[in-house]
Structure 1
Amino acid sequence: MQELIAFIKDRNRDPVIETALHALQTLAAKVPMELSAQIEAETRAPTIVISGLEEADNRMLPSQHQADVENKVTKILDVLNVQCRPSAVFRIGKIDNSRLVKVLLPSAYHWRSALANARLLRSSSFSNVFIRRSMTSEERKHDFGREESSSYDNRRGS
């Protein structure tokens, strides 16, 4: 798109066309960023993040690791009374004992059900496992700041 605009600009000296091309160039620069942000938001929307899920033995094959995490996620969804097969399940981050698990659910309905029933994990064999919605780094910073502020207010007795 940018090449086409540059080509037209080189061939045409009409000031009205140049103004229109400048506006078109500005718009064209915004569209890919907004589109990619929208796609990322739609992908993140029905996604939950699970923390506290133990890693499989590191001597296992990668395919066995994946099968293990998928099996554990299926059991968690059973506890949460969410009847679906996740679209994607994978661990994120460097290999250690506490990697997060991202779970892409097939619909917003399943996502809301999982988050609404998260309290059921406390009285199950997954009492040390926690789930939350997937968030951008900015959302996590904002959320963390809000929690810190609430914690401070609670300590002060406000």
Structure 2
Amino acid sequence: MPFPDIRTKEDLDHKKEDIFKLSSEERFLFVLTLFSRTLPSQIDSNESDGSSAHARDILKVVNNAPSSSVDKVATRSVPASDKVSKVFTQSSLVQEEKTRSIVVAGLPEADSRLGLKEMSSFEWSNIWELLGELGVTCQPAFAYRLGKVRKGLPRLLKIVLPATFFQKTALRNAPLLRKSTKFSKVFIRPSLDAEERKIAFALREQRRHLIKTTGGSYRIYKDCIYDNMNGKKIPLDPKFVPLSDHHKVVNSGVNHTERRRSLIVNAPVQPASGYSDDSVVILSSSSELSCKSLPPPSISTDSTQSLN
């Protein structure tokens, strides 16, 4: 059965009966799930013991649940660690963080000769101002630069937000930056893994090729190109997928066509129909505008910067 959705003390009081119905194993996993979840409505930023007090309330309810219908945790036939390892895997945590993250390209970086305090103040001042123009009304969980410092070029900046809602808000409002006096050269995209970045690069290359050869108007939508003039979706052409690990392909005996095909198969699934404002494309703040009037995205594909 699904776990009760408990985020506040009031939720806990109303759903005690649902907790009592859980087996010992389910209650064990339920408690771990709660500990891994952020409870913003319960934790006061000025009181460091707020979360621990709420945790004690949860444990009290779970420990007082009737045990007549369930076995003791110690007598479980399946070790709890096996189930926990499946639920709380590293990949799931990374994936969850990705859905809350944005990657910013072109945001000025503080001079490394400044002190740590001055650098932090400069960085966060820009972050807060950028989020304000994106309409994101929350405090980021954390933010950090990606890759090695390169003279004259600001590194990519990854910002992890508290919830997916804020990430979608930032991506949806990213085109507004084109009219900004300070951030017109800044581009926003979601956090992507290596395979997704290859697909994203291929889509940009195919879009530029179409604009150059046909003179039409195109935009990137999900995992394909959208023809603004004819209202049609153009699938990704495998020839635009980069072969960055050519030597690995040759040594493994896999031909280039198969390699490209595997990348396309692993691309995000395209919806059957419709276009949602929430599905801002993978790559830049220019995704929902006419491609003809936009400069190429300045996001680097350097492996040292494209970590996330």
How do 1:1-158 and structure 2 match up within 5 A? 35-96=89-150, 97-124=153-180, 125-157=182-214
Q: 1:48-92 deviations in whole A, cap 9, x for unaligned? A: 001101111221113322222111110001111110110001111
Q: In terms of mean alpha carbon deviation, does 34-43 or 46-55 score higher?
A: 34-43
Q: Calculate the TM-score normalised by the size of structure 2.
A: 0.39
In 1, Cα distance between equivalents of 2:127 and 2:213: 39
Which structure exhibits the higher relative contact order, with contacts defined as CA atoms closer than 8 Å and separated by 6 or more residues? Answer: 1
In 2, Cα distance between equivalents of 1:62 and 1:91: 14
In 2, Cα distance between equivalents of 1:154 and 1:127: 22
In 2, Cα distance between equivalents of 1:63 and 1:91: 16
Q: Calculate the TM-score normalised by the size of structure 1.
A: 0.74
In 2, Cα distance between equivalents of 1:57 and 1:67: 12
- Does the CA contact (< 8 Å) of 1:66 and 1:90 recur in 2? no
Q: 1:94-143 deviations in whole A, cap 9, x for unaligned? A: 12332011000111111111000011111112111111111001100111
In 1, Cα distance between equivalents of 2:178 and 2:206: 25
- Does the CA contact (< 8 Å) of 1:47 and 1:134 recur in 2? yes
Task: Please tell me the residue identity of whatever aligns with 1:133.
Answer: P
**What secondary structure sits across from 2:89 in the alignment?**
helix
Q: Percent of counterpart pairs with the same letter?
A: 34
1:36 Cα deviation after fit = 2.1
**What secondary structure sits across from 1:54 in the alignment?**
coil
In 2, Cα distance between equivalents of 1:84 and 1:75: 12
In 2, Cα distance between equivalents of 1:92 and 1:66: 15
Unaligned runs of 5+ residues in structure 1 are 1-27
Q: Which residue of 2 aligns with 1:23?
A: none
- Does the CA contact (< 8 Å) of 1:118 and 1:130 recur in 2? yes
- Does the CA contact (< 8 Å) of 1:69 and 1:90 recur in 2? no
Structure whose residues are more often helix by fraction? 1
Over the aligned positions, Cα root-mean-square deviation in angstroms equals 1.9
- Does the CA contact (< 8 Å) of 1:48 and 1:132 recur in 2? yes
In 2, Cα distance between equivalents of 1:49 and 1:63: 23
In 1, Cα distance between equivalents of 2:107 and 2:93: 28
In 2, Cα distance between equivalents of 1:91 and 1:66: 12
- Structure 1 residues 95 and 63, CA, compared in 2 at 3 Å: closer, same or farther? farther
1:156 Cα deviation after fit = 2.2
Task: Please tell me the residue identity of whatever aligns with 2:149.
Answer: I
In 2, Cα distance between equivalents of 1:134 and 1:67: 24
Task: Please tell me the residue identity of whatever aligns with 2:211.
Answer: N
Q: In terms of mean alpha carbon deviation, does 99-108 or 88-97 score higher?
A: 88-97
